[in-house]
Structure 1
Amino acid sequence: MSRDNRQTRSLLAELKTRVEPETEDMFIEGYFAVFNQATELWPGAFEELAPGAFNQTLSNDIRALINHETTLVLGRNKSGTLELKVDSRGLWGKVKINPNLV
């Protein structure tokens, strides 16, 4: 694939929104990626994530984006607005929502 082609992937996920009662902070949380589960990228093309797929990357500067658009940042791990954890099921995340952007 050349740098001129843009590849966008999406998946159905069970993300939840919630408000923390004591602080009134708003969050989106759930599994952003699930291990050992085939995901159809486009007709006939599948991808499956192996456990350990994120082992070398969680210390990087990671951003949660809207529609993979780099100018639409929901949260960032380095700023403390994005929390990521890996467990046996997959990559779990929690994004603190800025109420001024809602």
Structure 2
Amino acid sequence: FYAMQATSLMKRYILDNVDENDIPEEVKMCCCELAENIFKAEQDGGTQGVSSESVGGWSKSYESSDIRRRNADRAVHDIVYKWLSGTGLLYRGVR
């Protein structure tokens, strides 16, 4: 389930630059890390978005959904570029 979601996210970046019959190791590793990231975000759903907490007089502050979405998008971008930046798979020009 998470691997399919990770693959969908990766396809936004790599388009059709990967041969389905010969998948590079970097793509596999990127997919694994993205799947772990998605899983962790889902598991942390209850505490996600808490920006600060206080104990005395108990107070809790939350991030906006836009900020959470931007942080999630940035995490995906960082993972994809970490694994695929030197492979040529992110090239969007004409070959």
TM-score by length of 2: 0.26
| Larger gyration radius, structure 1 or structure 2 | 2
- Greater relative contact order (CA < 8 Å, ≥ 6 in sequence): 2
Query: Could you say which structure has the higher strand fraction?
Result: 1
